[in-house]
Amino acid sequence: MAALGRDGVMADLRARYVALADAHAPVHAQNLRNWNDWVAYVYDVQLVAALVPDRAARVVDWGGLYGHVTAILRALGFANATNYLLDVAPAYPEFQRTFDLPTLTGSDPNRLSLDDASVDVLISSGVLEHVGEHDAGDEATVLRDIARVLRPGGWFVCWNLPNRWSVTEWLARAARRYRHPRTYDRRRIEAALGGAGLQVVAARRHMLLPGTLHRWLGWCGTPLWRFRWDDRVSRWPLLSLVARDWIVLARRGR
């Protein structure tokens, strides 16, 4: 098991990821280089670790790009963590070899190449909101398939799900930068997951502060402490409305 590293954020693991990204210039790797994005991944994966104490559980990171979430899971002792990819980036084999990442690939955006009731935890880390873009998949169909592959009582954990009222989305629109074409509120989350046979156990907005402000607060406590504080503040009434995104915990019925 890898050491957690400085401040518990696996800085050594991130340094290896950044070095590989610098060497191979993979596409869409900004989140690997961004320190605050990395800390957010570690924070969210630690929430999974608290939710699922059994380290023998089969955990699948759906659409994990370069396998960083899988690598963090494995560093926390989840030996059966797997990265699931629909589209394999050209540089991915380098990451797969370097970090010894168990990997499954699929060809159908609406159906996972996984057996029925074979997964204890399926993670969507910034993936669900992109289903249907460029005519690749249908949200309702793929959610039903996620329910299919989960064992009875299994967890669907979804984070980075963009909040409908997010100040980050507003700022992106004002600056004419990329913004998510599909955003969510609680009603939409419960309708989408409930329609697929997944029971929403918890859904809350989190991550209020933009990354720039996190960097300015670098003097204030450890990175994980700042994210814990940010997570708590983002639950306050009114502030919660404009938090960046949602984290959702849902289960398949037993």
Tell me the C-alpha distance between 189 and 33, whole Å.
30
> Which value, to the nearest 10 degrees, does the dihedral of the CA atoms of residues 107, 112, 113, 119 take?
160
6-252 CATH choice from 3.40.50.150, 3.40.190.10, 2.60.40.10, 1.10.10.10: 3.40.50.150
The alpha carbon of residue 226 and the mean position of all alpha carbons in its chain are separated, in whole angstroms, by: 19
Which H/E stretch holds residue 41? Answer: helix 35-51
- Domain boundaries along the sequence of the chain: 6-252
Q: Is the pLDDT of residue 245 over 50?
A: yes
Residue 201: band (very low, low, confident or very high) from pLDDT cuts 50, 70, 90: very high
Q: What is the pLDDT of residues 65-87, one digit of tens each?
A: 999 999 999 999 999 999 999 98
pLDDT value of position 2: 41
pLDDT (tens digit per residue) in 134-155: 777 899 999 999 999 999 999 9
Residue 214 tokens read as 């996190």
| 138: nearest Cα among 148, 149, 150, 128 | 128
pLDDT of residue 5: 45
Which is it for strands 150-162 and 245-252: parallel, antiparallel or unpaired?
A: antiparallel
DSSP string, 78-99: -TTEEEEESS--TTHHHHHHHH
Lowest-pLDDT range of 32-46, 53-67, 114-128, 230-244: 230-244
Q: Residue 11: what pLDDT?
A: 87
As a whole number of angstroms, the distance between CA 226 and CA 214 comes to 8
Q: Give every CB contact of residue 177 below 8 A, 6+ residues apart in sequence.
A: none
Burial of 50 (C-beta count, 10 Å sphere; 0-12/13-18/19+): exposed
